[in-house]
């Protein structure tokens, strides 16, 4: 017959059970604090996940986690109204929300404030209130503020990327926590592009503006600007600001810069006898019930090269109609212009173009850049392939170690060479003269597009101007593109707001400033001094 446990043995068993229970509660509490996700005003569930630094291609810091704390309260206050008031003042929280949470028995924890500053933490501690808990976390900080804001993007209060590269590179950023993810952006180039875009937007009172600088051999985006911009450190958009990246997620009818694609098609398929072939321009080109007109006065006849240089719509329409609707559509698709562009940026947009009815008039208007809408980044990529030897590139926002990432041939090398010569001719003898920079052999094309309005009609006298520039034209390394949305002429431009007066000079200034930084040699002849001629 077994003996009954003694009092001492019973106390040992009870103590062991209590210890197990205590350890279990501690374990549950640890899981509660570090693993579970909270909702509403509940206690935090996942501790903030650390993110790697984002840097530019040269290591300059673009984004970094800073240690902060979130404040929670267990509402066991003698005077909940007074506690809500004091905490609201000390932590900058909403008093009514706190009081409602304190009076809600369903929530054992109430979020007082996220990411509080050390000063706020000191004020809260000075209150001496019971049941307060500080949870360590991180807040993303952007030292360059507005510069490249739409490209870099932002995170939410839980440190998850919600836009830009913060979202698009989320996996890489988390996998490299404690390290860095190096982007393709060059902040030296970014500052210059942003300055010139802002200056042009202000000078011509444009509604919006933007720009891109891309390496034609790797597809790396060295700079991208969208204005208006915003301050990512505020985590909100204030009046007049915008978090929208118009270069990547807005589609536009880009106008005459699209003639680059039209002439590339004509040269590729040999539908032009030569660039010296002469076309009759006249007073208008009638297609069915529509008549195509020129934006500016043109001579009665123009050679093919001057059709591009002077940006003749009538001449371009005649050239593209030789290719016809089917071939034009096939070629645009081949160049990547009829589908959304895929990059590390989550922001993208589907192009707009005729689906069911792509006939003669659509072919003509698309040939000079009306009736089709694409993102500026998509066009820059396609046009970079035109000048880089005719090989496919994929735009990227990550720094690449290789200096040549060109892929398959999309057009013949000789077509690419002809287009480089032709774009140089546009700058030396045509509408792009104000983009020329001595010593850098700039090539390019102007674009002045009508702006679509309501009910399918174009807004009278409203233009969207842009310039696509490549340098050096005969051995391209970089393209620079700037767009101005509805600029206005000034006294200095004699009231003209066309691209040759607005966007082209801005691109020229960007090239003049960034070329030395990027190691592009200046091949201008040495300046002759007066003494040298004697």
What are 373-405's pLDDT values in tens digits? 999 999 999 999 999 999 999 999 999 999 999
Q: DSSP label at 43? A: -
Residue at which a domain ends, from 159, 183, 207: 183
pLDDT for res 524: 78
pLDDT for res 114: 87
Is residue 167 domain-shared with residue 205, that is, in the same domain? no
Q: Which candidate in 256, 323, 378, 416 is catalytic?
A: 256
Q: What is the CATH number of the domain that holds 363?
A: 3.40.710.10
Q: Is residue 374 in a domain?
A: yes
Over range 157-168, report the average pLDDT: 94
Enumerate the β-bridge partners of residue 374.
252
Percentage above 90 pLDDT, the chain: 77
Which of 70, 56, 65 minimizes the C-alpha distance to 141? 65
Q: With cut-offs at 50, 70 and 90, classify the pLDDT of residue 36.
A: very low
Over range 341-370, report the average pLDDT: 96
Q: Is residue 307 in a domain?
A: yes
Is residue 148 domain-shared with residue 269, that is, in the same domain? no
pLDDT for res 40: 43
Is residue 201 domain-shared with residue 77, that is, in the same domain? no
| N- to C-terminal Cα separation, the chain | 132
Rounded CA-CA distance 504/428 in Å is: 13
Burial class (CB in 10 A: 0-12, 13-18, 19+), 302: buried
Is residue 141 domain-shared with residue 223, that is, in the same domain? no
- The verdict on whether 256 is a catalytic residue reads yes
pLDDT for res 5: 60
Angle ∠(364,369,371) on CA atoms, nearest 5: 70
pLDDT for res 249: 97
Domain count, the chain: 2
pLDDT over 70 at 41, yes or no: no
Rounded CA-CA distance 100/286 in Å is: 71
Is residue 207 domain-shared with residue 170, that is, in the same domain? no
Is residue 262 domain-shared with residue 153, that is, in the same domain? no
Tokens of residue 24, six digits? 């279990």
DSSP sequence for 196-223? HHHHHHHHTT-SEEEEEEEETTT-BEEE
Mean pLDDT of the chain: 91
pLDDT over 80 at 436, yes or no: yes
> Quick check: bond before 228 cis, omega within 30?
yes
pLDDT over 60 at 25, yes or no: no
Q: Is residue 302 in a domain?
A: yes
Is residue 212 domain-shared with residue 164, that is, in the same domain? no
* Residues 465/481, Cβ–Cβ less than 8 Å: no
Q: Is residue 3 in a domain?
A: no
Residue at which a domain ends, from 147, 165, 183: 183
Is residue 355 domain-shared with residue 482, that is, in the same domain? yes
Domain that holds residue 221: 189-517
Q: With cut-offs at 50, 70 and 90, classify the pLDDT of residue 321.
A: very high
Q: Show Cβ contacts of residue 323 under 8 Å, excluding neighbours closer than 6 positions.
A: 265, 266, 269, 271, 331, 363
Q: With cut-offs at 50, 70 and 90, classify the pLDDT of residue 34.
A: very low
Q: Is residue 467 in a domain?
A: yes
pLDDT over 70 at 155, yes or no: yes
Checking 82-86 for CB contacts under 8 A at 24+ apart, the result is 83/129, 86/127, 86/129
Q: With cut-offs at 50, 70 and 90, classify the pLDDT of residue 109.
A: confident
Is residue 223 domain-shared with residue 361, that is, in the same domain? yes
Over range 86-91, report the average pLDDT: 94
Is residue 290 domain-shared with residue 328, that is, in the same domain? yes
Is residue 138 domain-shared with residue 206, that is, in the same domain? no
pLDDT digits (tens, 9 = 90+) for 266-309: 999 999 999 999 999 988 899 989 899 998 889 999 999 999 99
pLDDT for res 408: 98
pLDDT for res 8: 60
CA distances to 30, 34, 281, 282 from 46, rounded to whole Å, are 11, 5, 69, 71
Q: Is residue 193 in a domain?
A: yes
Min mean pLDDT across 3-12, 201-210, 468-477, 483-492 is at 3-12
Q: DSSP label at 454? A: G
Residue at which a domain ends, from 136, 151, 183: 183
Q: What is the CATH number of the domain that holds 160?
A: 3.90.1310.10
Q: Is residue 126 in a domain?
A: yes
Is residue 91 domain-shared with residue 134, that is, in the same domain? yes
CA distances to 12, 334, 482 from 185, rounded to whole Å, are 67, 28, 17
Which stretches within 107-253 are classed as H helix?
Answer: 118-127, 149-152, 164-168, 170-175, 187-203, 246-249
Q: Is residue 202 in a domain?
A: yes
């Amino acid at each position: 017959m077994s003996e009954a446990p003694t009092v001492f043995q019973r106390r040992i068993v009870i103590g062991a059970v209590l210890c197990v229970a205590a350890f279990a509660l501690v374990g549950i509490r640890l899981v509660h604090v570090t693993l579970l996700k909270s909702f509403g005003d509940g206690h935090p569930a996942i501790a903030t996940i650390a993110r790697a630094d984002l840097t530019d291609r040269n290591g300059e810091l673009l984004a970094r986690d800073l240690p902060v704390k979130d404040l929670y309260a267990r509402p066991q206050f003698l005077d909940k109204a007074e506690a809500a008031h004091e905490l609201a003042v000390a932590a900058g929280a909403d008093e009514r929300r706190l009081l409602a949470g304190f009076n809600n028995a369903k929530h054992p924890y109430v979020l007082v404030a996220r990411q509080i500053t050390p000063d706020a933490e000191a004020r809260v501690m000075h209150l001496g209130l019971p049941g307060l808990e500080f949870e360590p976390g991180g807040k993303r900080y952007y030292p360059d503020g507005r510069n490249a804001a739409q490209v870099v993007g932002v995170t939410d209060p839980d440190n998850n990327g919600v836009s830009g590269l913060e979202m698009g590179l989320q996996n890489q950023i988390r996998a490299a926590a404690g390290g860095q993810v190096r982007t393709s952006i060059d902040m030296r180039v970014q500052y210059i592009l942003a300055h010139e875009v802002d200056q042009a937007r202000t000078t011509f009172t444009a509604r919006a503006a933007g720009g891109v600088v891309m390496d034609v051999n790797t597809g790396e985006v060295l700079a991208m600007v969208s204005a208006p911009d915003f301050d990512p450190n505020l985590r909100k958009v204030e009046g007049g600001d915008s978090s929208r990246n118009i270069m990547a997620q807005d589609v536009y009818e880009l106008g005459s810069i699209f003639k680059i694609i039209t002439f590339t098609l004509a040269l590729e398929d040999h539908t032009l006898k030569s660039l010296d072939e002469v076309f009759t321009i006249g007073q208008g080109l009638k297609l069915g019930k529509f008549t195509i007109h020129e934006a500016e006065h043109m001579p009665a006849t123009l050679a093919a090269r001057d059709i591009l240089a002077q940006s003749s719509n009538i001449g371009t329409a005649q050239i593209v109609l030789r290719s016809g609707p089917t071939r034009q559509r096939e070629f645009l698709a081949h160049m990547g212009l009829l589908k959304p562009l895929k990059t590390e940026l989550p922001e993208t947009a589907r192009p707009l173009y005729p689906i069911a009815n792509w006939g003669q008039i659509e072919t003509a208007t698309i040939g000079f850049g009306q009736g089709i809408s694409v993102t500026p980044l998509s066009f820059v990529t396609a046009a970079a392939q035109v000048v880089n030897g005719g090989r496919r590139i994929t735009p990227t926002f990550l720094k690449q170690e290789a200096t040549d990432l060109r892929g398959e041939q999309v057009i013949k090398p000789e077509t690419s060479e002809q287009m480089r010569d032709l774009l140089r001719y546009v700058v030396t003898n045509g509408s792009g003269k104000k983009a020329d920079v001595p010593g850098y052999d700039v090539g390019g094309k102007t674009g002045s597009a009508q702006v679509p309005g309501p009910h399918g009609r174009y807004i009278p006298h409203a233009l969207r101007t842009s310039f696509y520039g490549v340098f050096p034209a005969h051995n391209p390394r970089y393209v620079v593109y700037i767009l101005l949305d509805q600029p206005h002429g000034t006294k200095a431009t004699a009231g003209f707001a066309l691209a040759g007066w607005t966007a082209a000079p801005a691109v020229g200034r960007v090239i003049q400033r960034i070329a030395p930084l990027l190691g592009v040699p200046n091949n201008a002849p040495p300046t002759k001094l007066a003494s040298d001629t004697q």
